Amino acid sequence: MADTIKCPNCSANLLFDADLQKLTCDYCGASFLPTDPAINDQAQARFSEDIQTGKAQVIADAEVFESEAGNDRLGDEASEASIRGMADEPETEYDETNVQELICKSCGAVVVADSNTTASYCAFCGSPALVSQRLNSSFRPKYIIPFRYGRENAEQKFINWCKGGRKTPFGFVSSRNIQKLTGLYVPFWLFDIDGQMDMTATATIVNAVSTGSKTVTTTEYFDVTRQARFNWRMIPLDGETRIDDALMEAVEPFDYRQLKPYNPVYLPGFFADRYDQSAEDLNARIRKRAEEYMEEEFKKSTDRYSTVRVKTRNNTYSDPRAEYALLPVWFLHYRYLGKDYDFAMNGQTGEVAGVVPVSKVKKALFFFIILAISAVITRLIVGLILGGMVG
């Protein structure tokens, strides 16, 4: 990254405002689009209308047809489609002389930020013990999805999320916790993988017909074959071991229509995590996820049957291919009574995930309130029964 991005009017530092989708100057109040020639002389990225939502999509249209009585087969006529559709264009030229690494002295986490961006707390452990140093290794993602939810919106989402938990501890939504809320570009590998389904099973359809007091049950038996091609595109897997994988999956999907070639103009004001798992490190995980998608497709194609018992699985998968991207997540790590909790919000769509701590005081109060209500209801029921008996 070259110098910090400067305001063309007053030369003060600019920050990317996710709510406005502009770079703003706190000094003179000016604002600029990321595509403004004064900010970025690169042509606006061209996007294909074919790019679809980011949660793994099954790009296949396989037809189910009945071949003969007692035989059900899934045809091998799946259309192959790609959601990439992004036109190749020149990358932004920049050096990285003004990028810094922030290292947490408590947990060892390393994040990347423009030197214009300050930090008070570690996004991973909540510690304020951060030290900075110059970036000492290459940091070059291929794609980025800019934040669309700014800090104010993220704070409100966090407050509403906490209020949704009736047993959340008193005072949990404190200024101290909210200050730790961090806008973090999480490193993701976007995987492409193809699959060939080849499965057989035995299935039944059970029908029951009642006539008066008599019920007649009939059972039909089928040999089931499923064969089809599937193309999964841009399945996102985070490349950071410190972030819970289930938490990141919970804030999916990302809308890939906003996917852009990496450009440093979207970084000021936020942090960018540096991956510590390569695409090769995640090969087993992406294969497992593809296998889960394959099983889901098989179940959907056989849901008309009463019972299904799989006999053979000869599914095959291609070698996965991956591109490195930064995707926006608001992140908060906190401790309550010695336990670690994480809150995450998709910085593009606003999807929220996490586990709310439970207050022992509220839990006890809730128990006694329920107990008291139950006692009142029981007394009323007993009174009605006894009163009826006396009458």
Q: How far apart are CA 251 and CA 245, in angstroms?
A: 10
- Give percent of the chain with pLDDT exceeding 70: 63
Neighbour tally for 193: CB within 10 Å: 22
- Give the per-residue pLDDT at 338: 73
Which pLDDT band holds residue 156 (cuts at 50, 70, 90)? confident
Residue 303 has pLDDT above 50, yes or no: yes
**pLDDT greater than 50 at residue 361:** no
Q: Is 301 helix (H, G, I), strand (E, B) or coil?
A: helix
SS3 helix, strand, coil % of the chain, rounded to 5? 20, 35, 45
* Contact between 229 and 60 (Cβ < 8 Å): yes
Q: What is the mean pLDDT of residues 81-102?
A: 46
224 phi/psi in degrees, rounded to 5: -115, 135
Name the residue type at position 93. Answer: E
pLDDT score, position 385? 61
- Report, in angstroms and rounded to the nearest whole number, the Rg of the chain calculated over CA atoms: 28
Least confident of 21-25, 55-59, 198-202, 332-336: 55-59
Calculate the CA 258 to chain-centre distance: 15
Q: What mean pLDDT is predicted for residues 109-125? A: 65
Q: Rounded to the nearest 5 degrees, what angle is found at the Cα of 319, between the Cα atoms of 316 and 324?
A: 140
CA 323/CA 52 separation, integer angstroms:
16
Predicted confidence at residue 257, as pLDDT, reads: 92
* pLDDT-derived band at 239, boundaries 50, 70, 90: very high
C-alpha dihedral sign at 118, 32, 344, 86: negative
**Cα distance between the two ends of the chain:** 89
Please tell me the pTM assigned to this model: 0.70
Mean pLDDT of 112-136: 61
In this prediction, residue 115 has a pLDDT band, given cuts at 50, 70 and 90, of low
Average pLDDT of the chain is 74
Looking at the chain, which runs of residues are DSSP E strands?
14-17, 22-25, 31-32, 57-58, 64-68, 71-74, 99-104, 110-114, 130-134, 143-144, 182-211, 214-238, 260-261, 271-273, 307-313, 316-317, 321-336, 339-346, 352-354
Of 82-86, 96-100, 308-312, 373-377, the range with the lowest mean pLDDT is: 82-86
pLDDT confidence band for 12 (50 / 70 / 90)? confident
Single out the residue of 93, 310, 276, 119 nearest to residue 197, CA to CA. 310
Averaged pLDDT for residues 12-23? 84
Question: Is residue 390 predicted with pLDDT exceeding 70?
Answer: no
Task: Report angle CA 100, 43, 235 to the nearest 5 degrees.
Answer: 65
Instruction: Average the pLDDT over 285-289 and give the result.
Output: 94
- In whole angstroms, what is the distance from residue 329 CA to residue 332 CA? 10
Q: How far apart are CA 19 and CA 82, in angstroms?
A: 31
Q: Is residue 284 over pLDDT 90?
A: yes
Task: Kindly report the backbone phi and psi dihedral angles of residue 266, in degrees, each rounded to the nearest multiple of 5, phi listed first.
Answer: -90, -5
Question: CA neighbours within 13 Å on the CB side: how many for 132?
Answer: 15
pLDDT band at 214 (very low <50, low <70, confident <90, very high): confident
User: Per residue in 270-290, is it b (16+ CB within 10 Å) or e — as a string?
Assistant: bbbbbbeeebeebeebbbebb
Q: Give me the mean pLDDT over the 376-382 stretch.
A: 62
